[in-house]
Each structure stands twice: as C-alpha cells, then as structure tokens.
Structure 1
C-alpha cells in the first residue's frame, strides 16, 4: 500500500500498516538508544500509541516513514534524558531477519559472532554517533533523510558518520573488538 492509498484509510488501518511495515525499524532504533530489548519493546509500543494519537495531525509534508522515524528518535531522546541509565550491557542483539547462504555451520557461527561483536562496538559509541550509523547502515537512509529526521545539517551527519567509522576502525585495528 502506498502513501496515496493510505490517505483514504481509517486511522486504525493506517496504524496497522505502519506497525507491519515499520515495527521492526522502530524496535531497532529504540534498541540503539536503550540497549535492552524489553525496554525497547516497551518504547516501541509507546511510540505507536503516540503515533496513533497524532495521526490526525499528519500533514503529508513527508512520508509516513520519515514522520515515524522522527517520532521514534524524539521519543527515544526524551526517554534517555529522563531515565538514568549508563553502561547497560545488552542481553541480545537485534538483527534483521535474513537467510544468507553459508558454506558451513562454522562460518555461519563465526559470522554471527563477528556481527554481534561489531554491533556491540556500535552500541558503545556515543548516542549521536550511534544513531547516525544505525540510520545510515542498518536502516539504509540517505544523508539528507537522516539530517531531516535528526533536525541537523547534512554536513553534520557526514561528520558524525566519519567519526563513527573512525572510532570503529580504531577499535577493530586495536584488537578491542575481538577481546572478551
């Protein structure tokens, strides 16, 4: 269902569409902020409640996806500011569903472990670097889209991406990523 078709639907139908198409995205973004799956799930529910209550105010100046990203990022930032958590260790890492072809079980396990270690390294970045990295690489958003969502200039996004990549590279080259 495209954006034009959604305009003719009821708020309940629009909400169902948004939850089905963007629910995983909302959960991943929330997880990048709080680093705990259960809390991220609770936040996701709150975001969709807020979205439902705000559907009448949607003005079609952006896509529903961009609008939902903006609500998600703003809600997560407010949550992090209001909640006193620091240095939480994630119990699991959220991965996109995928079914890649691996040569063997061993290579599959090694690849999963490498991805887990890399994602944990990403989670150790500052929120500003982490959110840009997640939106760019995990959500496949463009620099202008991220700038619009976060309310900053595209040059700021480029700088944050550069710093995030540099920090990750230093961690990998220094062996930090592969330490236990």
Structure 2
C-alpha cells in the first residue's frame, strides 16, 4: 500500500507502526472468518485502507484494536455476502492458509489433522456463530469485546458461542 506524500511524517510512522503491530492478528482473524488466504489478504488490505482513512479519528491504541476487530469482521461478512451468489467460501484450506502465514513446519504438522477437522466443522456454523466463536475462543476477546465487535448484546453473544460450541462438538464427533 502506498501512503500519500501529503501525510505528515509522524502520521506515516504511526500508520506503519500500527500496521506492523496488528497485521498478523488481522490476517489470522480474516483467514479464520473467510477460510482462505487469498480472501483474507484482500480483507486485510481493505481493513488497513480503512484504518488509513480513519486514523485521525481514532483516539487511542485500545480503540484501534477494537476498531480493527470490528472492521475485519464487517469486511469479511461483506465479502461473504458478495461471493455468496457467485461461489461458496471454502474453509477446507484453513490449515494450509495458516501454514502459509505461520510457516513453522513442526508445529503445524502436529496440529494439521486437528485443524482440518475444526475447519471442516466451522464450515457448518452460521457466520455470526462462527465469528463469535473465533473472536472469543481463538482470538481471546472477552464476551463484552465480542459483543461490541459484532454489534450485539453480551447475552446474545453468550448464546451464539454456546450454540457454536455444541454444534462444533457434535460435528467433531462425527468427523472422528
């Protein structure tokens, strides 16, 4: 991404630092929500373009992180809606996509089978349940943060996570 020349040097440095500190987390979240690296990279690029446009209006680092989570989820949902009519979003390649982002062969090899089963099971969850589960259990957000990110109440998020975990558990039993 090219940064416009008319930006003050401090803003350029701030933007580059924010990108560097959040790019892996945003890409990982996008992979988990879209199911493949190519779409996740497109989503992450869109997220950082939006960050660039809105940088001046974000008050502090904590706000930036919450804002990035919310925008990432929204961008991935939007991509899913646009692609729904043309093709299904494949989640089967989740383990391979993660391997290309985190190339530690020993670690990924030992987890590959489990990740593939989880990816196959995640495919059967609704997008809101999947997003709530990924944000809470895989990204480590609190229930309140997930609710804020998804624009829901905490009780709705707790129900979505509970249902998603039950479905995931049943699906994983079937896939063994």
Q: Is TM (by shorter chain) over 0.5? A: yes
Give runs of aligned pairs for residues 80-159 of structure 1, distance below 5 A. 80-83=80-83, 84=85, 85-86=87-88, 88-91=90-93, 92-94=96-98, 97=102, 109=109, 111-159=111-159
Partner of 2:25: 25
Shift of 1:11: 2.5
Shift of 1:46: 1.7
Give runs of aligned pairs for residues 153-172 of structure 1, distance below 5 A. 153-172=153-172
For residues 39 and 172 of structure 1, do their structure 2 counterparts lie closer, same or farther at Cα, with a shift above 3 Å needed? closer
The answer on 1:46 being equivalent to 2:46 is: yes
Please give the per-residue CA displacement for 1:125-176, whole angstroms capped at 9, x wherever unaligned.
Answer: 1111111111111111000011111111000110011001100111122x2x
Report how many residues are paired.
163
- RMSD over aligned CA atoms reads 2.7
Q: Which blocks of at least 5 consecutive residues in structure 2 are unaligned?
A: 1-8
Shift of 1:97: 4.5
Q: Which runs of 4+ in 1 moved over 6 A?
A: none
For residues 89 and 141 of structure 1, do their structure 2 counterparts lie closer, same or farther at Cα, with a shift above 3 Å needed? closer
Q: How high is the TM-score relative to the length of structure 2?
A: 0.78
Q: How high is the TM-score relative to the length of structure 1?
A: 0.77
Q: Which blocks of at least 5 consecutive residues in structure 1 are unaligned?
A: 1-8, 103-107
Shift of 1:115: 2.5
